[in-house]
Amino acid sequence: MQEVLVFVLLLLALVYASWRIYRVFVDHRDPCYGCTGCDLKNKIERKQACEKKKVVEKFGNPEIK
């Protein structure tokens, strides 16, 4: 019985570690790793939106062409 419990716990730990490693690769460009509610992320998103707007104003909207 103890061996089964240890096996299950190790399997759960392996699954969790695999999931966290997968999330690191998926969210590698996101500095907040999927967090949805902090002021820092909101500031980063506003800055990126502002930079995109500046590019569109400077070079025109490439989607219109």
pLDDT digits (tens, 9 = 90+) for 16-34: 999 989 888 887 776 666 6
Please report, rounded to a whole number, the percentage of residues in the chain having pLDDT higher than 70.
62
DSSP 26-57: HTTT-TTTT--S-HHHHHHHHHHHHHHHHHHH
Residue 11 — very low, low, confident or very high, per pLDDT cuts 50/70/90? very high
The predicted model scores a pTM of 0.48
* Interacting residues of 27 by C-beta distance below 8 A, sequence separation 6+: 33, 34
Q: Could you give the CA distance from residue 55 to residue 2 in angstroms, rounded to a whole number?
A: 62
Residue 9 — very low, low, confident or very high, per pLDDT cuts 50/70/90? very high
Looking at residue 10, its pLDDT comes to: 98
Contact 27, 33 (CB under 8 A): yes
